[in-house]
Structures are given as structure tokens and as C-alpha cells.
């Protein structure tokens, strides 16, 4: 199996193109090769496939390191676009791809920067999904005998965003698994911890479904900014500082879509025998 290793702000991926090869992996096989000691090691696996839809360039599938397919990955989308252009699968600098949840538009800029139209943030409880019928800017749960308040939104995948005073002292690894297992989130959830520096800058840590805490999460950055704007805490253009680096996130009023700009890096190409 041929693959490419890539990363977006240290959120790392392997990309497998199923255009010239035909690879189908079980959940167990994905778990095996995701192991950082005995396999390749990655946060997510991305499949490049031919599009079956008119007007769409490629199909984009995402699997977490636990082998489960998920709807969205923003950092992966940037790597996906960089891979397609780098490997000559397209000469276009504007690429449309279909995902499990909808259509993404990827734009290749200068200096390995990729802009992704992540679509419209969805705050409707049923669509996130969360176990309530009424939208609130802030929800709350009792987690580890502590009241935790958060905003919730779908960026093609479910996110809850918790505002904290200091992300370095927040008990991310302790709180996140309990939140993800709570019945309030029937499909689990990506948990973001946001420290607001000012209206145009935040720090963020994200504990992802199926991958634990990663060095960066593109959809998590979009979710945090969307929730912050919804709560009148942030401007419509924000720099998000993650462990792996910075992303520029902006929410355009004209089309109500949220956009992400960040780097994508090709690390190496490889082959593994299963």
C-alpha cells in the first residue's frame, strides 16, 4: 500500500489515493497502522477517491486512528488539497470535494497556505447533534461533580467549546472523556478549550473523538471562533493559536460560511505491506 505522510500544524495524517490503487482497510487494520510504535503513526487517515457527483472534483473520506469514519477534518482538508496539487492529480487551484457531511471548497494559495470554505456553522441542536430541542448560547453539564458550561456547534462534525481562563492549567485529559461519553452527545463530540486573549486572538486545545488531544484541529478552531462570535466575545476574523501553530479563521456575513487559512506540509512518501 502506497501512502503519503503529511501534517497540518503537527496534526498528522496518512493520505491514501484510491485513484490508481484500490485499498480497503478494516477498522482493525487502521488501528494497527496508526500505532506510533509498531505502525506508521497518525491522527487521521484520509482517502482520495474519484468523485461520483457531477461538478465535484474528488471524494474525501476521513478515518480516526480508532478506525471509525468521521464527517470532517479541517487540517486534513488542507493536506488533501496540497496532496492533490503536489502529486499532479489536479492543476486547479480551486478544488471541490465531497465529504460524508457535504461539499468543501479548497483554494491553494502561496507558500503552502490553503484556504478552506468549511461551510455554514450549524447551531441547531438536532443537527449537531445534542440531546435538547432548544438552542442556547451556553449549555451546562455536571462533569466530575463540577458544572461545565459550553457552546455547541456542528462544523460538519460535532463540537463543544468551553471557555477557560488558562488552557495550560485546564484538566483537558480528565474532563474530555467524561464529556464525550455523556448522553447529551449521542454521537460523542470534539471538546475544545478556548482561552480568549482578546477579540481577535484565542488559544485553543482540542480533544478529538477517536484521537484524544491533537496538536491542532481545524474544524475545532472554526467551532471555537463560531461559538465565540455567537456569544459576542470575538470579532469576525480571529487568529487561533494551537499547540502546532496558528490558523486564521474568519466568518463571512455575505455567505454565512466560515473560512480557515493555514499551512499544509508533505513529510514523506512510503509503502507498507499489510
Task: Please list the residue range(s) of the chain that carry CATH number 3.10.310.10.
Answer: 2-119+263-271, 125-256
Total residues found in the chain within this entry: 274
Judged against a pLDDT cut of 90, whether residue 160 lies above it is answered with yes
Told to judge if 73 belongs to the known catalytic residues of this protein, a careful annotator would answer yes
How high is the mean pLDDT of the chain? 96
Q: Is the dihedral of CA 154, 80, 194, 175 positive or negative?
A: positive
Q: Long-range contacts for 24-31 (Cβ within 8 Å, ≥24 apart)?
A: 25/63, 25/274, 26/67, 27/66, 27/67, 27/68, 28/67, 29/67, 29/274, 30/63, 30/65, 30/66, 30/67, 31/65, 31/66, 31/67
Fold of the domain spanning 125-256: Diaminopimelate Epimerase; Chain A, domain 1 (3.10.310)
In angstroms, the CA 184 to CA 125 distance is 10
We find that the CATH architecture of domain 2-119+263-271 is Roll (3.10)
Task: Give strand pairing partners of 250.
Answer: 237, 259
Whether 7 has a pLDDT exceeding 90, the answer reads yes
Residue 195: pLDDT band by 50, 70, 90 thresholds? very high
Q: Looking at 73, 79, 160, 222, which residue is catalytic?
A: 73
Candidate list 79, 217, 222, 257, residue with the active-site label? 217
Let me know if 160 is a catalytic residue: no
User: 54-76, pLDDT tens digit by residue?
Assistant: 999 999 999 999 999 998 899 99
pLDDT of 190 reads 97
Segment 267-271 shows an average pLDDT of 97
Residue 186: all three cell numbers together: 449521542
Amino acid at each position: 500500500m502506497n501512502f503519503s505522510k503529511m501534517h497540518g500544524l503537527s496534526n498528522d495524517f496518512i493520505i491514501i489515493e484510491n485513484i490508481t490503487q484500490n485499498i480497503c482497510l478494516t477498522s482493525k487494520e487502521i488501528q494497527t497502522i496508526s500505532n506510533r510504535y509498531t505502525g506508521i503513526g497518525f491522527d487521521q487517515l484520509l482517502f482520495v477517491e474519484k468523485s461520483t457527483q457531477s461538478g465535484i472534483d474528488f471524494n474525501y473520506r476521513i478515518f480516526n486512528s480508532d478506525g471509525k469514519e468521521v464527517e470532517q477534518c479541517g487540517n486534513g482538508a488542507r493536506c488533501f488539497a496540497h496532496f492533490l496539487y503536489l502529486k499532479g492529480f489536479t492543476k486547479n487551484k480551486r478544488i471541490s470535494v465531497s465529504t460524508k457531511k457535504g461539499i468543501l471548497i479548497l483554494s491553494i494559495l502561496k507558500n503552502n497556505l490553503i484556504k478552506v470554505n468549511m461551510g455554514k456553522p450549524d447551531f441547531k441542536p438536532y443537527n449537531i447533534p445534542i440531546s435538547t430541542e432548544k438552542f442556547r448560547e451556553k449549555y451546562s453539564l455536571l462533569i466530575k461533580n463540577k458544572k461545565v458550561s459550553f457552546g455547541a456547534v456542528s462544523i460538519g462534525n460535532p463540537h463543544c467549546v468551553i471557555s477557560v481562563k488558562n488552557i495550560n492549567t485546564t484538566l483537558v485529559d480528565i474532563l474530555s472523556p467524561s464529556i464525550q461519553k455523556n448522553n447529551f452527545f449521542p454521537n460523542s463530540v470534539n471538546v475544545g478549550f478556548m482561552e480568549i486573549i482578546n477579540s481577535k486572538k484565542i488559544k485553543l486545545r482540542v480533544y478529538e473523538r477517536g484521537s484524544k488531544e491533537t496538536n491542532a484541529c481545524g474544524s475545532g478552531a472554526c467551532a471555537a471562533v463560531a461559538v465565540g462570535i455567537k456569544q459576542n466575545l470575538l470579532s469576525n476574523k480571529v487568529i487561533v493559536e494551537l499547540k502546532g501553530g496558528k490558523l486564521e479563521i474568519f466568518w463571512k456575513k455575505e455567505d454565512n460560511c466560515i473560512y480557515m487559512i493555514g499551512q499544509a506540509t508533505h513529510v514523506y512518501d512510503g509503502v507498507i505491506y499489510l
